Amino acid sequence: MSVVTESPPSNKTDSEVQSVLRPAGNRVRVSKSLESKQRSYVQKKSQQMRGPVSLSSESVHRRNASVDSSCSSDSSRRLSSVKMASFRRRMRHNGLKSVKVVPDGVEMPSLLPPVQLKRCDWITANTDPIYVSFHDEEWGVPVHDDQKLFEMLVLSKALAELSWPTILNKRDIFRKVFDNFDPASVANFTEKKILALKANGRALLSEPKLRAVVENARQMIKIQREFGSFASYCWSFVNNKPIKNGFRYVRRVPVKTPKSEAMSKDLMRRGFRCVGPMVVYSFMQVAGIVSDHLITCFRYQECNLNIQKDCKTKSENTEVLAKDLEKTCLSHT
């Protein structure tokens, strides 16, 4: 038997409370009169507890919305970080590299490996860094300073007993021993000083090579008096213009040439010692009288551009001197 129960009569009318079905569920629409009564009741209670305050449903809604938004943003951040970590793991598993996205205007350091410059084939990954710097900055650069040329001649002579990396690592010792490669100072070395340098081993060279350096400094002073400078003498063998070779392979680079043989023969005739054709050609290479960078080396183009600029400057200076000489001659006539 079914029993019918009667619900107690409600004190509220249908116009006051209505049940509304929405996608989010059943919500109750409160009439304006009840909302105003509730607001006044809350205001009275708040005034009794801590004085007059204004509390509205709008402010409560805003506070709740801010809390909800902060919570949702935190959860979204955590979710996005988890997704990103999972995405990176999958990329690493597949052998791919992740790409970091940054906002516009923000500079990030590049994660790509630096580009390796192509150098001459005798410079490898295991080459001494000081020799690499020497190749990149000095070797093949034209030199017109007498003191620098004397240094290059001494170091090229030392190649008969030492290698370039060893010479460069001990370059400061060479400079101290030979008074910063000042030809006038080295030319005044006495027999006592030569023996002292040989005894304590500071010269780093054998006694014949040490005596040859001192004798060459004395002969260099004579050439300076005759030609005005040692640079003028050396560059006269190539008509004051560097020789630009274009070899692709190391095996094609010579150890001596007719030009080096001619300079070697003339130096020995003038009293220089230990200046064979191979030593002279090494001197011509390092002094930039000959450019022997391989065409695959990045320094090949740079040295050739410098040579072109140097030749252009010299030609302009020659034209200026010719014009000045012509003006002088016309003024005297």
Annotation: binding site for Zn(2+): 120, 135, 293, 297
**Distant-in-sequence, close-in-space partners of 100: CB < 8 Å, separation ≥ 6:** 108, 111
- Known binding residues are 120, 135, 293, 297
Contact 292, 148 (CB under 8 A): no
Contact 236, 106 (CB under 8 A): no
Residue whose token pair is 């790509």 = 112
Structure tokens at 125: 């990954």
* H or E segment and range at residue 124: none
Closest CA to 270 of 224, 231, 216: 216
Beta-bridged to residue 26, according to DSSP, are 21
3-class secondary-structure state, position 291: strand
What is the Cα Rg of the chain in Å? 45
DSSP string, 20-62: EEETTEEEEEEPHHHHHHHHHHHHHHHHHHHS-----HHHHHH
